[in-house]
């Protein structure tokens, strides 16, 4: 019997008085006993929530009952324990931070790439005139990505617009974009269209839906997710491991956060190095006075960090 569900979803839909909506929505989620992380903006919702099957069904029913969110597509995972410790609902300027805030230029409610269902994506992805484009960040595609995908050296999705010129060589191709659940592709594909790319597509429901509906064929490695699982399996057809331990170079698909909260770097690390380094990415982090206790998972509840810390990635992407 399923103990808990974890829901991944988003919906671009205008929310008036979104800040008040966020406060009310937090109370509603807590009333259902859910844990998770939801971002609310004037442009819509982006969330991952976890709870009992009954609580998750009640949540999905409530979202679908709101005429603004009837088209919301929920990806549902069965899990042994809740994927979060607390429930957070926060108001922000965007539901995925891109820096593209002019609705007259980029508005997923008006124009995006053509949505491909997983079966259609699978059928098209190996065509000669197709380029598969990963629009996720370095730490995400380092642990898993589609075979032959073009990846970008970006720390955050907000860096994506600056990489458009690097993609100019593919303007005569069909561009198939993908991300974890589909939300980043909505703005990435819209920007590509705005910049003159004509044949732009996106994987509807992202990697997660692709794994559920067509078995995840040719997705190599694991998929990074934004909860305490950190990564999930996707490929049941021809699975492989593409990532290596940041410390020793041994093949591993285990993703962790550095135990030093002032670093908190996402990186792949084998269990042996995890034990030797206390879950840290470097000796400097291992000796840091604020180092957290490493329990083997590499996941930590977020804690406030000093405002003067400048984080710089130390990961080399293969």
Active site residue ranges: 179
Taking the C-alpha atoms of residue 144 and residue 300, their distance in angstroms, rounded to an integer, is 22
Residues paired with 130 in a beta bridge: 174
Helix ranges, the chain (H): 18-31, 53-65, 118-124, 138-143, 183-194, 206-214, 271-277, 283-286
Tokens 């690097």 belong to 166
Cβ atoms within 10 Å, residue 308? 6
Residues in the chain, overall count: 318
Taking the C-alpha atoms of residue 222 and residue 102, their distance in angstroms, rounded to an integer, is 34
Q: How many CA atoms lie within 13 A of 9 on its CB side?
A: 26
Nearest to 221 by CA among 235, 211, 208: 235
Helix ranges, 117-270 (H): 118-124, 138-143, 183-194, 206-214
């Amino acid at each position: 019997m399923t103990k808990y569900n974890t829901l991944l979803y988003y919906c671009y839909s205008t929310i008036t008085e979104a800040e008040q909506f966020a406060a009310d929505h937090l109370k509603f989620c807590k009333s259902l006993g859910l844990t998770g992380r939801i971002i609310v903006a004037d442009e819509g919702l982006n969330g991952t929530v976890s709870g009992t099957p009954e609580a998750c069904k009640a949540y999905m029913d409530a979202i679908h009952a709101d005429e603004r969110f009837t088209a919301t597509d929920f990806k549902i995972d069965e899990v042994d324990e809740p994927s979060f410790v607390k429930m957070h609902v926060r108001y922000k300027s965007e539901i995925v931070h891109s820096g593209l805030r002019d609705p007259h230029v980029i508005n997923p409610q008006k124009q995006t790439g053509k949505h491909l269902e997983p079966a259609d994506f699978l059928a098209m992805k190996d065509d000669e005139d197709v380029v598969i484009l990963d629009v996720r960040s370095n730490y995400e595609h380092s642990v898993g990505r589609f075979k032959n995908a073009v990846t970008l050296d970006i720390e955050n999705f907000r860096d994506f617009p600056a990489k458009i010129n690097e993609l100019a060589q593919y303007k005569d191709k069909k561009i198939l974009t993908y991300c974890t659940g589909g939300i980043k592709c909505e703005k990435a594909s819209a920007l590509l269209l705005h910049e003159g790319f004509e044949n732009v597509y996106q994987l509807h429901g992202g990697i997660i839906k692709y794994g559920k509906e067509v078995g995840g064929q040719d997705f190599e490695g694991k998929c990074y997710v934004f909860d305490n699982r950190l990564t999930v399996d996707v490929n049941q057809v021809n699975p492989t491991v593409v990532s290596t331990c940041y410390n020793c170079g041994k093949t591993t698909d285990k993703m962790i956060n550095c135990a030093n909260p002032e670093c908190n770097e996402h990186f792949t690390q084998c269990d042996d190095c995890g034990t030797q380094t206390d879950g840290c990415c470097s000796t400097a982090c291992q000796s840091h006075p604020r180092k957290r206790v490493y329990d083997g998972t590499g996941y930590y509840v977020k804690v406030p960090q000093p405002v003067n810390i400048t984080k710089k990635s130390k990961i080399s992407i293969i």
